[in-house]
Amino acid sequence: MSAPLPLTAPAPRPTMPRWRALLLFDSKYTPLAITIALFVSMTVAGGIVYDGLLQPQIFLNLFVDNAFLLIVAVGMTFVILTGGIDLSVGSVIALTTVVSAVLVEHHGWNPWLVMPLMLLMGAAFGGAMGLLIQRFRLQPFVVTLGGMFLARGISFLISVDSISITNPVYMSIAEARLSLGGGCSLSVGALLSIGVLLAGIWLAHATAFGRSIYALGGSEASARLMGLPVAATQIGVYALSGACSALAGIVYTFYMLSGYSLHAQGLELDAIAAVVVGGTLLTGGSGYLVGTLFGVLILGLIQTIITIDGTLSSWWTKIVIGGLLFLFCLLQRLFAGLRRTRV
Amino acid sequence: MSARFKQLSGHTLFWPLLTLALLLVANGIFNPGFLALQWREGHLYGNLIDIVNRAAPLILVSIGMTLVIAVRGLDISVGAVLAISATVAAWMIGGALVVDHGVTTAVTRLPMPVAIAGALGVALACGLWNGLLVVRAGMQPIIATLILMVAGRGLAQLIGGGQILTIYYPPYFYLGNGFLLGLPFTLFVVAAIYALTHVALNRTALGLFIRAIGVNPVASRVAGIRARLITIGLYMFCALMAGVAGLIVSSNVKSADANNAGQLLELDAILAVTLGGTLLTGGRFSLAGSVVGALIIQTLTSTIYSVGIPPQVNMVVKAMLVFAVMLLQSAEFRTTVRGWLVRTERRA
């Protein structure tokens, strides 16, 4: 015997007073808050242990030294938000540095022509992978793995040796610094990365494209039923990531002043780690670019602390990043579990 | 197309074997000496033997990877686990040349069996860690194994103190360089492991269970299969294979390089598995196919070296292979191609 079903709708939950809503912030920001709290506590703890850490220039150097990582991680965040992954980013950086170096140094092309060309190349490369993933329902992991081999292979074919860049335009951009007063300054690459981050935030939260990305990551079937341009969004996201990788490659060229097919090896892992530590769910649909920024800063801070300490060996970077990844993945599972039980 | 050919080409192993055969025949045409085998000083020499010998670590890892992929998993930490196992073995054996009464003898830090057991034990622990993260913590396999992939090389460097560890203990070199009955010893290791796995999969219900989990994990659990236990076990098996591969590699080069041993091995193994006709979506797998896939990859590398093409081409060729295999496996692609064919036929 079953109990009669209630015919009336369940009583609406009492609305929260505004002050409580402000105090108890939305639980969807919890991973982001944890990431920021981790960064702040690492900075404070590091500042107490190491004297030099709290200088403003050290903080700015996090941007200077990780500009390319931040740019790549912004593109990667979009891809991961749709539920995909892009393993080709490091190779595309290498390809960009090699092609730019060859065009500028060996063929005497105008750098101002080469840079937009590189962006186009990156976007086309990413878009082609996106097309394969979307059109033929292939797994992003394997397609971008093929892209990784292809981009690295092409750069090997073009040049095995490192090509140093002596072009005056590249040299002057590499040396240019924006002074912020008090002896602090930012490089062009760092400024570009901050610009990309801001543009990314605008794209994610103020455009139809951004909304489609979140919808696609939440549920592809629902997004399709809502009439959102699923195919165009999915291809667009990979093209965007490809363009970001190419831009990161240009910034990398400023940073290293050389084109080398072995540049940025394993950078895809750092980018994925930054995105995950930044609180973006790998299953897609949930996460923020601000989190990615702090993810990159945390990775940079670990590196900086290990450099300042001087006695810690370089492999501790990998172990600590692995540990952080573990911690954040576990936290994500915990939150996903909590959300499910609440529903 | 005759029905006979259709039946033949429908077999899982048809396309991988055809690819391998074509590669070998092409090699034989361009370089007549390629397929020759020689008996010299009681050992069998030749390119074919060399290919199988060099492919041994990849074959082993591909066997492990096949079973993980069969249950909808993926293990991208195999390269790191290989490095860890190699470093642990190298550290435990260590070895130094001691001059005793004018006779130089190699002395190990720990006895060799202990070192081998230690390295394999550490590999098993790595697999257990991966399996627990996937099954108990419910993480996506790529991410769960990404953790060990990132941290693993760091751990291996920690064990080795950031140095390339050299091994000075000749008996250990037998594993990677020795000959038994005229054939490289690694061949016997690979054959034994393949045979054992084959028997375990086909003479017990394990193979059926693995397919069931791959097709539908929930249904298989409801049906009473201990899906979680089996999945953890398969991750441990995969890591164990990477561990054995680590022993072979470190024995072969008489040292362990925590940074570069097994670099990109995970990608080659996934490529070998897909080449062999195993579906990345789980449920359908072919152990023999993966072995053939690994042999294709090694033959390709050897071909590129023997024909005299610059080795840089290797990566581009591999990329093309990845794309070709994926497209052939995609139902959407086959439908599209069929659509094109029908349209051109109508027009004609």
pLDDT at B139: 81
Cβ distance B56 to B291 under 8 Å? no
Please report residues of A whose CB lies closer than 8 A to that of B293: none
In sequence order, the 6+-apart residues with CB closer than 8 A to the CB of B327 are A132, A136, A138, B333
Q: Write phi, then psi, for A281 (nearest 5 degrees).
A: -75, 135
Residue A1 has pLDDT above 50, yes or no: no
Task: Decide if A21 is inside a domain.
Answer: no
Q: Output the average pLDDT for chain A.
A: 85
Please report residues of B whose CB lies closer than 8 A to that of A98: none
Please report residues of A whose CB lies closer than 8 A to that of B146: 269, 272-273, 325
> Would you say the C-alpha torsion B1, B7, B12, B15 has a positive or negative sign?
negative
Average pLDDT over residues A217-245: 90
* ipTM of the modeled complex: 0.77
Domain around A251:
28-342
- In whole angstroms, what is the distance from residue B156 CA to residue B147 CA? 14
Are B316 and A150 within 8 A, CB to CB? yes
Torsion of CA A305, A31, A36, A177, to 10 degrees: 80
Q: Is residue B3 less than 8 Å (CB to CB) from chain A?
A: no
Average pLDDT over residues A261-281: 86
Cβ distance B248 to B57 under 8 Å? yes
Are A325 and B323 within 8 A, CB to CB? no
More confident residue, B5 or A165: A165
Reply yes or no on domain B13-35+44-331 having CATH 1.10.3470.
Answer: yes
Q: Is residue B337 less than 8 Å (CB to CB) from chain A?
A: no
- In whole angstroms, what is the distance from residue A261 CA to residue A343 CA? 50
Cα distances (angstroms) measured from residue A51 to each of A44, A46, A94 = 11, 8, 36
Please report residues of A whose CB lies closer than 8 A to that of B147: 322, 325-326, 329
In order, the DSSP letters of A76-145 are HHHHHHTT---TTHHHHHHHHHHHHHIIIIIS---HHHHHHHHHHHHHHHHHHHHHHHHHS---HHHHHH
Task: Decide if A52 is inside a domain.
Answer: yes
> A304-318: per-residue pLDDT in tens?
888 887 777 778 888
The radius of gyration computed from the CA coordinates of chain A, to the nearest angstrom, equals 22
Q: Which of B328, B330, B286 is nearest to B70 (CA)?
A: B286
User: Could you identify the residue written with the tokens 């789980």?
Assistant: B282
Residue A270 has pLDDT above 70, yes or no: yes
Question: CB A125: neighbour CB atoms within 10 A?
Answer: 26
CATH assignment at residue A159: 1.10.3470
Cβ distance A140 to A84 under 8 Å? yes
Gap from A21 CA to chain B (nearest CA, Å):
32
Task: Decide if A16 is inside a domain.
Answer: no
pLDDT at A253: 92
Domain ranges within chain B, ordered by starting residue: 13-35+44-331
- In whole angstroms, what is the distance from residue A280 CA to residue A122 CA? 24
Q: How far is CA B13 from the centre of its chain?
A: 17
Give the global pTM.
0.82
> A89-143: per-residue pLDDT in tens?
999 999 999 999 999 988 888 889 999 999 999 999 999 999 999 988 888 888 8
One pLDDT digit (tens) per residue for chain B, 348 residues: 566 666 666 677 777 788 888 888 887 787 777 777 777 777 777 777 888 888 899 999 999 999 999 888 889 899 999 999 999 988 888 766 666 676 666 667 777 788 889 889 999 999 999 999 888 887 888 888 888 988 888 888 888 777 777 777 777 777 777 778 777 888 888 999 999 999 988 888 888 888 888 888 888 888 888 888 889 999 999 999 999 999 999 888 877 787 778 778 888 898 888 888 787 777 788 888 899 989 988 888 888 777 777 777 778 887 887 788 778 777 788 788 888 888 777 776
pLDDT at A323: 87
Point out the least confidently predicted range of A196-210, A288-302, B106-120. B106-120
- In whole angstroms, what is the distance from residue A110 CA to residue A119 CA? 15
Considering only alpha carbons, which residue of chain A is nearest residue B148? A322
| Residue A105 exposed, middle or buried by CB count within 10 Å (0-12, 13-18, 19+) | middle
pLDDT at A343: 43
A–B CB contacts, 8 A cutoff, strictly below: 128
Are B322 and A149 within 8 A, CB to CB? yes
- Please, what is the end-to-end C-alpha distance for chain B in angstroms? 20
Q: Is residue A112 less than 8 Å (CB to CB) from chain B?
A: no
- Please, what is the end-to-end C-alpha distance for chain A in angstroms? 27
Q: Please, where are the H alpha helices in chain B?
A: 3-9, 14-30, 47-70, 78-93, 112-135, 141-160, 170-177, 185-202, 206-215, 217-222, 227-253, 265-275, 287-307, 313-329, 331-347
Q: How far is CA B263 from the centre of its chain?
A: 13
User: Of the candidates B318, B326, B331, which has its C-beta nearest A142's C-beta?
Assistant: B326
> A17-52: per-residue pLDDT in tens?
555 555 555 667 777 888 888 888 888 888 888 877
- In whole angstroms, what is the distance from residue A165 CA to residue A110 CA? 13
Q: What percent of chain A stands above pLDDT 90? A: 34
Structural domain count, chain A: 1
Please report residues of A whose CB lies closer than 8 A to that of B274: 142
Q: Which of residues 111-140 of B touch A (CB under 8 A)?
A: 133, 137-140
Gap from A61 CA to chain B (nearest CA, Å):
24
User: Of the candidates A142, A143, A333, which has its C-beta nearest B138's C-beta?
Assistant: A333
In sequence order, the 6+-apart residues with CB closer than 8 A to the CB of B144 are A329, B130, B133, B134, B137
Q: Which of B230, B202, B211, B249 is nearest to B59 (CA)?
A: B249
Average pLDDT over residues A257-263: 86
pLDDT at B239: 94
Torsion of CA A232, A236, A239, A241, to 10 degrees: -150
Gap from B315 CA to chain A (nearest CA, Å):
5
Please report residues of B whose CB lies closer than 8 A to that of A329: 133, 137, 139, 143-144, 147
Point out the least confidently predicted range of A46-60, A184-198, A242-256. A46-60
Task: Decide if A110 is inside a domain.
Answer: yes
Cα distances (angstroms) measured from residue B227 to each of B112, B117, B140, B210, B214 = 36, 28, 16, 8, 10
- In whole angstroms, what is the distance from residue A85 CA to residue A90 CA? 13
